[in-house]
Every structure is written in structure tokens, then in C-alpha cells.
Amino acid sequence: GLNYPVALSGETPDLGNFTIKIIDGSDNQIPKIPALRNHKPIDLNKAQYWGHLVPKGDTWRAKGSRFLDYLNNLFSERKRKSFADESDPSPPHLLSIPNNIQEDSNLYIFQLMAEAPFQFDILFKSTSSPVDLEDFTSILESKSKNFDVRFENTFGLASKGFDENQINFAHEILSNLIGGIGSYMNVREDEENFWDESRQANPKLTSPSSLFTATPSRPFFPRGFYWDEGFHQLLIGNWDNDLSLDIIKHWISLIDDDGWVPREFQTQYPHYANPPTLLMPLEAFLDRLDNESKLQHSIDDLSSHIANFTNFASTRYLNDINLAEKYLKEIYSKLKLNYKWFRRTQRGEIKKWGRSASNSEEAYRWRGRTPGHTLTSGLDDYPRPTPPHPAELHVDLMCWVGFMARSLRDIAKRLDEWNDFEEFDAQYKNIVNNLYDLHWNEVDKIFCDISFDGEKSIYVCHKGYISLFPMLLGLLPNDSPKLDAILDLIYNPDELWSPYGLRSLSKSSEFYYTGEKYWRGPIWININYLALSSLYKNYIAKPGPYQHKADKIYKELRDNIIKNIYKEYKRTGYAWEQYSAINGEGAR
């Protein structure tokens, strides 16, 4: 074996010259193992090692089957032959890896054996970095103290009246989100010629690609997820603006020449979409940029701002408007491609099914529908028209495309792309007009999906999150009577209102808590967040006839959600992706 600390030095095109050190914990206890009669004992005070040459491009699969198969075969062979003459060889004897290195190895495995509890440090040192992590313990203690100060300066929870236990909960949630950020390699299975009409798939594996991203759940779902990532970056961007922009740029770099975003872990079809949530943190970045600009017009505010924020967060793109515009220019063409892809591939029909609207083009339907699911929408089993029909139009998708048009319009304005600005602005207005013309059911006072019954176009109304999307994404003006109807739907305890948050599907629906019970009643925090965010920014901050009603709902809903999530965290030790509308319990 090798004495600690173990050092591995090398060079790669991506990392340059580097050293990795493995340092054993000073308090670690080695396993107590019985002596062998016929074999030399293993020195467990040392690290065991193994080096192997793997094919180029396969080193990222170190945890894959090839290495595991090798070890399984080794251990089986050892148990059957090498220690056959021993009555009870212990696990350290059977499972220690061989101390040998193949010539020109590019994959190295190091093994530490210790009794639990134990600890060890793995330190990465780049020759291009001035940072020295040798005294890691003291650095960690210093960073931990800095975290608490930075957290309060960023979010101000103590100043808002939250107690120490609630703030510790918030610390843990943010820490887990930040801790889930990583660079992931993946191979996708793409289907290039799969369309709803043919249903003949012939998927093919792509070459490996990498993605820098946060993850929805470190133990359960340790990979990037497009639908979730926009929500992750809303929080990460507040904590570290530049880190968030880097992650967003990695996702946007995946957009191909056709405008499609390849995604995650299931077979992908290049005409299947997902909600374009990454534009949400980009809008938030633009808001921070505007706030920074306003602060810099006041010397007093600026000095306070520098003391409380700039020393802690990574804010180069907020402090340098030229750098910010450079970033926007670098991602702008890809964002336009994706928007045009959305409009082209998710287009729905108006005149073909006897409908009329202010504009003949703005209508959309999710591709990838099945009788029980619309996975592409992100709302999985939420009730939709049954059976699926090509005449369908989906109100949430219409709102997402309108949201894209408005976001790109705002970016175009900042970049002085005035022809684009006028095009996006006209499309946004047409979408809003058609949203009213096509999806508003005046009889029931609700926004609905639409389909075709064989003779005419019909509304398919399932009260729930789908009904809220024009408000959630801010497509309704604050003086619209339609807003008043949505607020009534939200605040009705027989419909969406519960003591724990907004139900995904109305309590009055025949589908409430049926089937998978996934988006058919349980409370989802991402949609509840959209509701709170939109109420706050669009309908409380601006004077209007429904301002007081919006403010009352906002305060009660926010209080209900925070209390229940914290209650369930104390009960279970976890935050959950959804909560029961019946008793508030977290699930999944």
C-alpha cells in the first residue's frame, strides 16, 4: 500500500497541471481483523491502489459496469481460490484491491479502510490557482462563518422575523441545492424520425456530452433536469449571480442548430418540448442588473450595497454593464433558435377545426401526448382532453410561448436589436389576444384547453394549475376581470385553496386524487412559487382594482406554505417535491 497522504499528479487539456491529495483523518480507526494462518496481513494503515488503462473517452464511466465487473470477478476468485484455506477471511482481506498499476494507466482507484465513523479529505490543487487548501479544516471553519453572514446579507431572514431554527432550515436547503451542482457526463438516446402519426421509433445513442448543472435531488435524481433547472437558478442566482449565469450558459449551449434542447435520461424526440424555465432566472438577472444600476446612482446606497453584497457574492456581470451585454449577446442567437423551434414544432391549428381568433397563427399544443399523460408539459398526469386529438390546444403552452416572446423582447431591447424587438412585441400581443379568444370560457369564467368532439371545437376545463397560467406568467393585466375570476378560484376552499398551499387540481374535480395522484390534487411548490411571485410583482406592486385581494391572498398563501414546509422538515428531515392537500404531509 501507499502511506498517507497519497498524491496523484497529472496533466490534462482541460485541467492543466494538477495534484490530487488523499489525506487520512487523524482520528480514524482501522478495522480490527483476525490474523490469517497462511497469508501475509494487509497493512490497513495504508491506502490500497489500482491503476488501469481504459479506452479513450471512457474514463468518465469509472463507476460503470466494466470496473465493477472486474472487482466482482476478483473478489469471487479470491474467495474461491486465494483464501480457500482460511476458515473465515474478513471483508478487508477479501475486498482489498490489488496494489498494482498497468502501464500507461489513465484510471486510478484508491481504497481507504476504516471503522465508522471516519473522515478523510480529497484535495485538488491546480498549479494555475494561488489557493492552498492544505489547512482545509481551518479554511472550512472560516468559510462556514462567512456563509452565515453572507446568507443574512443576501436574504435577510433574521431581519424579517424568522427564528434561529427556521434560518438553519433555510441554510440547509440552500446548502443542499448548491452542493448538488456538478459537471455531469451523459450519453443520450435520441430518436430523429419519430412523429406522433407514425409511432415507429428507432433511437440511437449520441456521443457523450457534459453539462454543468444543479440537480433536483442528490440521492434520488442526481442529474440535471431542464424543467426544474429554471427554478433552481432563481435561488442560486440570488446567492451567486455569476455562478448561475455559468450554469444557464451551459444549458443554452446544448441548443442544437435546429433550436431543440436535448435533455435528460429518457429517449429524446427532437419535436418534444419542455417548459422554457431557464428564461425565468435570466429575467431575474436583468432585474438585478437594473437594481444595481439604480444603486450606483446613489453614493449612500452604493456604499451600503458594497458592504453587504459585493464582498460576498460573485457579481462581475452586475458591476460591469459591458460584460453583462457581452453575456447576453453570446446566448441571444441560441435563445432565438429555441423560440423559433417552439413556434414551429408546437404549432396548433385554428381554422382547420372551425375556430376563429384575432390572429391566425398563435395557437399551440404539446407534442408527446398519451392518453394518461402530457410529460412534456411538466404536469405529467394532469387531466387533459381524452382521448388525445391533433385538434387540441393547450393553455399552459400558449402562456409559455407568450412568456418566451416577452422575455426575448426585453433582451432584444437591451441589445438594441430593434427589428427583433418589434417582431417579438407583435407576437406577444397576438398571443395574449388569442389566449383570450381561444382559451377563455366566458360561461365558466375560466381558461381551458380546447379539443374537438367530431363536429365542433369544445372547451375541456379542469380547474387547477392549468387555469392559472395566464396569471402565473403575468400575461393578464392587473385591471382584467379575468384576473378577478382567477383570484376567486384560488381562494375558494372548495376549489384550490388549502391550509398547506394551492391544490394542483380542484377539490371539485372528478379526477381529484385519482390514478397516480401526482398532479391531481397534491401541492407543488414550484407552481405555488410562481403564484406568489406573480401576485407580488404583477398584481400587488402596481395599483389596480384587485390589488387588495391579491395582497390578502399573497400573505396568507405565503404563510401557509412556509409553515407547512418547515413543519414537514422538522417531522421528516426533508423537503419534498409535493405536499398532501389533505394533511400537508410531504411526499416523493
- Cite the active site residues: 380, 577
CA 368 to chain centre: 21
CA 305 to chain centre: 29
Three-state secondary structure call for residue 389: coil
Rounded to the nearest 5°, which phi and psi values hold at 497? -75, 135
Long-range contacts of 71-79 (CB under 8 A, 24+ apart): 71/97, 74/98
How far is residue 73's CA from residue 98's CA, in Å, rounded to a whole number? 13
Q: How many CB atoms lie within 10 A of CB 390?
A: 14
How far is residue 429's CA from residue 243's CA, in Å, rounded to a whole number? 34
Q: Do the beta carbons of residue 337 and residue 439 sit within 8 Å?
A: no
Orientation angle between helical segments 547-572 and 525-534, nearest 10 degrees = 150
Three-state secondary structure call for residue 583: coil
* Gyration radius of the chain's alpha carbons: 28
Rounded to the nearest 5°, which phi and psi values hold at 270? -75, 15
How far is residue 453's CA from residue 436's CA, in Å, rounded to a whole number? 21
Orientation angle between helical segments 226-239 and 136-155, nearest 10 degrees = 90
Longest CA–CA span in the chain (Å) reads 89
How far is residue 150's CA from residue 161's CA, in Å, rounded to a whole number? 17
Q: Please tell me whether the peptide bond between 499 and the residue prior to it is cis, using omega within 30 degrees of 0.
A: no
Region of 116 (left: φ > 0; alpha: ψ -120 to 50; beta: rest) is beta
Pairing of strands 48-52, 100-101: parallel
* Cell numbers standing for residue 47: 491506502
Q: Do the beta carbons of residue 278 and residue 249 sit within 8 Å?
A: no
Q: How many CB atoms lie within 10 A of CB 112?
A: 17
